[in-house]
Chain A
């Protein structure tokens, strides 16, 4: 019974973390129209920044350390986004994809090749529990608590992004995404708009990293490999490039498929590594706008109410 509950709680927490990764990736790839393939790098930066603070400020009260480490995770990922965003965002299309992909891989490889006394190097590191003590008997409340925190983080991120996209700077970003030349001719600085989106997106990926590190209680560079980028990409392609609420559903589909497959016998379980890239390719060929396209769930409910039954 408890095993089943733990499974589903874990699934939902993971859905939440992938939702954060997907909405932030969607801001960059879907709304801002940039071909960014290094989101796993920002995720890793956040996870390692949070872990570093947790290991090095152990004297602080637990909940305070938890919050501070999440803030640091966002800040470090945002600075990372700014640093690689300014030179890279002048590149277009495939070149941008290659440069950002390079960044994502470099973060992982750099950690992998670090000495073991620096954040565990290739062995990975434990993340001390600061939110509450986690034992076999407290697993359920710990997962519930994490789920609540992750849900709040997802709601906050979606709300912030939605309001941003409706604001003037957000409209400017959509204008740049649609026609950079026309936007430039109106005095809009396209690079600035894109860097802003990139920094916001990387900060939220960093937050996902911090939450993930605390939830897992240990991280390893291999957690942040390119397959994770493929999964995030699949989430936004399923959910719809440019749809925030589609991300939640896309994240659920991808995470549930992976975790349910993981319960199956080994011979079947590892097939998700083939399945995901395959679905991704099929989606891009047959339904590139995703299941939801650019629409939000709220738009669809409104349309459904208006249409005669």
Chain B
């Protein structure tokens, strides 16, 4: 479904990704783990069109993404929940969700999507008319995910949904992510520093170190891998 082949990405003269190969198949939950600065966010930004690879190709269902701006890539059914949530703090919860439904023209379909998001995150419905900026960190993360789901994407890119959130809420959010995958059939690429949690939810994983993939395997095996245990699970 999503394929990255030999992708090199630069920030000015600094190379952040080195010949990255990665693929995600329909229906999977794949996780990308790595330390601070490994290039996880850079990988997601490259997929969603915020950054351009200097070499290599990115395709989604065989379509080349390299020349498309972010707002066109979303239209193909690929939705990116960026690092740090970035909800619209001065718009209400409801309006934030409406922004996510920009591509859904039919009002009935919008309503259905909204009901679906409220079913997944009932807290959002309770806080519907509150400005997004007044939500707690965990609720803001739910809003960011809910907002991305409004367009009914076929694939969701999630950048550290656990960042800065109380452990109990993190578990709740990860449960919902698994449920989105199961019930909506949404394919998920999950970037996490919390490797333990991510590896328990995903089917396959990649380990990224300084812009290079160093390991790729089923999460079962990665969880047993002594290298991974020492560096990421210890």
Once the chains are docked, how many angstroms separate the CA of A137 from the CA of B88?
A: 57
State whether A175 touches B70 (Cβ < 8 A). no
B69 at the interface (CB under 8 A from A): yes
Return the CB mask of B101-112 against A: 1 if under 8 Å, else 0: 011000000000
State whether B82 touches A185 (Cβ < 8 A). yes
Once the chains are docked, how many angstroms separate the CA of A183 from the CA of B144?
A: 12
Interface majority SS on A: helix, strand, loop or mixed?
helix
CB-defined contacts of A175 to chain B, threshold 8 Å: 88, 91, 99
Q: How many residues of B contact A (CB 8 A)?
A: 25
Once the chains are docked, how many angstroms separate the CA of A190 from the CA of B71?
A: 9
A-B contact count (CB 8 A): 61
Given contacts A181-B50, A181-B82, A181-B86, contact A187 B75 (CB under 8 A): yes
A168 at the interface (CB under 8 A from B): yes
State whether A187 touches B103 (Cβ < 8 A). yes
A274 at the interface (CB under 8 A from B): no
State whether A185 touches B70 (Cβ < 8 A). yes
A172 at the interface (CB under 8 A from B): yes
Once the chains are docked, how many angstroms separate the CA of A183 from the CA of B48?
A: 13
State whether B148 touches A186 (Cβ < 8 A). yes
CB-defined contacts of B87 to chain A, threshold 8 Å: 182
Once the chains are docked, how many angstroms separate the CA of A187 from the CA of B86?
A: 15
CB-defined contacts of B82 to chain A, threshold 8 Å: 181-182, 185
CB-defined contacts of A178 to chain B, threshold 8 Å: 88-91
A188 at the interface (CB under 8 A from B): yes
Chain B residues engaging chain A, CB cutoff 8 angstroms: 48, 50, 69-71, 74-75, 79-80, 82, 86-91, 95, 98-100, 102-103, 147-148, 151
Chain A residues engaging chain B, CB cutoff 8 angstroms: 168, 171-172, 174-175, 178-179, 181-190
